[in-house]
Homo-oligomer: A and B are copies of this chain.
């Protein structure tokens, strides 16, 4: 890993805990507008997130649709609020409230190790995002959650979404580095496999309830190459990663 000059981070789930951040905002807004306290807001946010995942992957494969995640989130939200399952929420929230809650994705909080971990990693390497989130979303989130990025790459800048190869290659190109000198950091195996296919190094970070694909296809057991697995490094936190990279330097 000594050769690696830049760490390129997935954001949703890897750096920030979208589920609890958005669920907390939904719950507060539900209470404010008299939505039944039985409402399952974690289910709501999981469904919202699933709409995002389905659509970004479809568009990454060449399907049509917006390349801006604010717009994608809004379309998914409106569809949900029109559905029978969430119509009681839809009745309570007018256009202005919907605009406001859509921006909850700009106000996500880091995992407990995120800020301190990124600060330590920034002293060792270039640290950049590579996220499907749009630029403004990532800028607002960095200010909100105090994320000390050296660079913010949004796939919107490259006219695509991950896991399209173009997303990974564009980030390396603009860092003036061959892919072998860039490591992708993510909590999702699909993202790391797509990065590895372009020659990037891979760092898997375990995050709670984040990688359903690893759970369903590998029993949730993700291993490093040293342990017979497929990724260069596997860690439980950014602080653990900083310790490993600091030693190898």
Contacts and interface: CB of A to CB of B under 8 A. Distances in A.
Contacts of A126: 139, 143
A237 to B, nearest CB: 24
Nearest to A137: B176
Nearest to A158: B157
Contact of A139 (B135, B136, B139, B150): B150
A151 B174 contact: no
Nearest to A148: B148
Interface in A142-160: 142-143, 150-152, 154, 156-157
A25 B187 CA distance: 43
Contact of A174 (B128, B143, B154): B154
A210 interface: no
A55 interface: no
Contacts of A151: 135, 139, 152
A131 interface: no
B174 A156 contact: yes
A232 interface: no
A134 interface: yes
Interface residues of A, number: 19
A126 B139 CA distance: 8
A133 to B, nearest CB: 12
A190 B156 CA distance: 29
Interface in A55-73: 70
Contacts of A154: 174
Contacts of A177: 136
Interface in A105-164: 126, 128, 134-136, 139, 142-143, 150-152, 154, 156-157
Contact of A150 (B70, B142, B176): B142
Contact of A134 (B134, B142, B174): B174
A126 B136 CA distance: 10
A96 to B, nearest CB: 17
Contacts of A174: 134-136, 154, 156-157
Q: Considering the complex of A and B, which 7 residue pairs feature the smallest CB-CB distances, nearest first?
A: A136-B176, A135-B174, A139-B151, A157-B157, A139-B150, A136-B175, A151-B152
8 contacts: A134-B176, A135-B151, A135-B174, A136-B175, A136-B177, A152-B152, A156-B174, A157-B157
